[in-house]
Chain A
């Protein structure tokens, strides 16, 4: 049976040789994960965790030292696979003597797309560049270059959208627009692999997340699994010695017994509230001790 995973990464390792051939630096250590059809998968990790390296391996820009990467069961180097991908690079840049319309027309020709000028105008309008279609890219801000990058990635109606920090450096309104476009693309049927520092974005739109730290896979699962299906409660107790408030988070199942225990010890309970776990908490827990 043909492999239908848009992305399958198996035991990926990547190390870069040091200068003058003195050993090598491990960037990725034995990570494995999949992206299923129609999923939005968040790929999170601190700076230098190996996110961009992994993405470049997936795109064939870097050659894995060990392990296997397949896109729909094929090598990333296959042209039939590459035609189904849209890529938004981190800090994109383009030859600044061209305009967005020129870039879109040339990319369309290179990809063998049949779209016309009016299609590209619609696309530019969708990403918020409608008034800038013939302006030289040299006049563009970082955010505008990211919008152009998104337009180029969406141009071919890709089945897989790989995005490396697409909203970094964008203002809140632009970030919201980007999120909406990502959700629209997912509804159209595209699978999305989204690398981001902005955990709230990942938490809002992703079905699953893969957490990376120091080149190692620290956690992976659906949002429900990562955030915890069990409800947590936070109990605040007043210390008899110092008079300070002490917080304690415990699962719902243990809540009553813990309250009884505190009462038996004559401790004053000042507050009991539901503790909502965020992806940030999960990320900090998962990467604790391996932040750099």
Chain B
């Protein structure tokens, strides 16, 4: 069950420019949280910024009772959060949302992350490895300096390949090109992906062409985080047509093929 905890910040550092790792003690949330779920953090006690901000869980230390989130400074809220000193209490609500499933029948799975979208895949990779599922991570960024999360995969011994838009490391191009290449040369039974919508749309196309099942994690502006306000709606397919699903409570994880993307939405 979700709860709200006053979480003590124990680690907060800028990993690469504008990308931060934030670790805090929240034992109840840490005990329950599954890969793909998120927490809703109140950035300040003041009325501006007003709403909580959602962050997917990057890693969990169940023994210590800590949670790490990984975020990019994109606006007022994350800018303010980046200035949060350690040893301060943070108001954290969670765990929220639907988690990734663990495809126990799969021999090998691919984890595809674009930019800060790598965040929920780190914890997932650890859980998959512990379940004995062979995991290969494909991660993309604009340039080598922004390839965050690499050290985590190195630490956990999860094999990974990279792509950069400028070719400064790994394949020159998009991570979806890397995925297309890998699907030709390696076995993949299941795909997990998180990143910009255009990337998720391409991942969906590639997966469906080859009949590979999988899951994608979406993001969106949220207010409540619990499915009450209907603010974070995203179009999904239904038997008869389409409807809006709540990213916060029906997602953020959706099955590949379930989500309708904006380019498909232009009627």
Q: Do A and B come from one complex?
A: no
